Structure 1
Amino acid sequence: MRDRLRLAAVLVLCAVFAMALVGTVWQIAGQPVGGTLPETVADAMADSGVDHPVTAVLLNFRSYDTLLEIGVLVIAAIAGISMARLPSLEDPELRTHDSLLHALQRWFLPLMWLVAGYLLWAGAVQPGGAFQAGAVLAGTGVLMRLGGMPMNFLQPRLLLRVGLALGFAVFLLVAVVSAAGGDAFLAYPEGMAKPLILLIEIFLTLSIAMVLLSLFVAAPVNDAREPAEGESE
């Protein structure tokens, strides 16, 4: 009974989301657009909330694409985790202890965290943003994993689930609140575009890093052990 109720709730949410997308696309399709795409973007930059055209397109003018891309990443991470042969993404028996890598981590990890923060902040005015910052942040997790550092947040518990879905959930919440306030779906209220985009990018950075790290950890590991007696190679 509970499974049926959960399935029904998911179907209702998907239907509502699909209708909101169709309604907004219908409204946009009825609006006349003049000039070339670069000219259209340049004319609307003052209302975008950011100063870089790529960020403006990804998180304002065509934020539907970005929202759906994040959804695809979350689904890919869930599928990768579900198909992993490990009972847990954080298996203590698979940790390696490389003393050289461990020493280098002391220098690399703070620097990479700083670079990730810079890319996130700089995305509003120059190339950068959540995807680049999330990739760098995931790289720090890969180094931590290879160096044998404990990563308890990869346990299949609430923290992992929240980390994977948080960016998409915040993005969708902003869209729903905007629509409930009388604006179009994913249309930011006047004067709130910049803080809302920054809020979305912060949570997207964390979720993208978690997704990429989960996919790396869940990838099949070649077993290089020497075959024991009686085992076939």
Structure 2
Amino acid sequence: MKRLAGMLGALLFSLGLIGALFELPPAAIDLRPAVASNLAASGVAHPVTAVLLNYRGYDTLLEIAVLLLALFALLALGLERRLCALSSFEPPLALLARVAAAPMVVVAVYLLWAGAFRPGGAFQAGAVLAAAAVLLHLTGLLPGWMQPRAWLRWGLVGGFLIFLGVAAAMLARGALLEYPPAQAGALILLIEAGLTLSLGLILGGLFLFMSCDEGGER
């Protein structure tokens, strides 16, 4: 009965949220024309990427900082590892994980490249990389992580440092992350490439640092 009551409560809450979304008034300011009119100078052809990495790049910079802080807090607190991998693994499962991991890396690279002109980008690519790492861990092919060694630390913070370095360099132009139109595309690609690797490690680390399987190289 308690489970049924919980399910009914969750259903009613979800229906209430859906109803509230349908009753939202239209936005007071429509920014789509402004985004479209400046798209040619943004360095990319997709409006979402232009907003996230150019028009409002500092928001994205702070989002990366929040993810890093969450991971650092997990490491600093030394949380008990409760996400334990299975004690035994079926060979077909491990084989399928090996086969799936390589295409997932290819998909991540594609999402990074495609983000300039269609849905994609560093967050999606990093999430796919993290999913590949978690899949390999759950099938016993990748051990859990303890305290990160130097190479892993640089990988975790590298994307943020690249982003921060570009932002600092742009301050000479008088505004944070105001790219020169001629170099905007290359700078955004540089930032997203660094973020893809870092986000993959951060998101994967939020799982792997809490794993009870502590064997292997860190």
Distance in 2, Cα, partners of 1:165 & 1:202: 13
Distance in 2, Cα, partners of 1:205 & 1:186: 19
Q: State the identity %.
A: 49
Where 2:196 maps in the other structure, the secondary structure is helix
- 2:56 — aligned with what? 62
**What does 1:147-186 correspond to in 2, within 5 Å?**
147-150=139-142, 155-180=147-172, 182-186=173-177
Q: Which residue identity lines up with residue 163 of structure 1 in the other structure? A: G
| TM-score, normalised via structure 1 length | 0.71
Where 2:148 maps in the other structure, the secondary structure is coil
- 2:41 — aligned with what? 47
Distance in 1, Cα, partners of 2:151 & 2:44: 31
- 2:134 — aligned with what? 142
**What does 1:213-232 correspond to in 2, within 5 Å?**
213-219=204-210
Alignment root-mean-square deviation, CA: 2.5
- 2:117 — aligned with what? 125
Where 2:132 maps in the other structure, the secondary structure is helix
- 2:78 — aligned with what? 84
Are the structure 2 counterparts of residues 176 and 95 from structure 1 closer, same or farther at C-alpha, using a change threshold of 3 Å? farther
Distance in 2, Cα, partners of 1:154 & 1:205: 22
| TM-score, normalised via structure 2 length | 0.76
Q: Does the aligned pair in 2 maintain the 1:153–1:159 contact within 8 Å?
A: no
Q: Which residue identity lines up with residue 36 of structure 2 in the other structure? A: A
TM-superposition CA deviations, 1:56-80 (whole Å, max 9, x none)? 0000000011000000000011111
Deviation at 1:112, TM superposition (A): 0.7
Q: Does the aligned pair in 1 maintain the 2:144–2:211 contact within 8 Å?
A: no
Q: Which residue identity lines up with residue 41 of structure 1 in the other structure? A: V
TM-superposition CA deviations, 1:118-156 (whole Å, max 9, x none)? 111111111110000000000010012112224587652
Distance in 2, Cα, partners of 1:127 & 1:94: 33
- 1:6 — aligned with what? none
Structure 2 runs not aligned, ≥5 long: 1-28, 213-218
- 1:208 — aligned with what? 199
Q: Does the aligned pair in 2 maintain the 1:130–1:205 contact within 8 Å?
A: yes
Range that drifts further, 99-108 or 39-48: 99-108
- Say yes or no: does 1:114 pair with 2:131: no
Q: Choose which of 30, 33, 44 in structure 2 pairs with 1:36.
A: 30
TM-superposition CA deviations, 1:65-108 (whole Å, max 9, x none)? 10000000000111112233469xxxxx9785522321112210
Q: Does the aligned pair in 1 maintain the 2:80–2:210 contact within 8 Å?
A: no
Q: Which residue identity lines up with residue 74 of structure 2 in the other structure? A: G
Deviation at 1:36, TM superposition (A): 3.4
- 2:22 — aligned with what? none
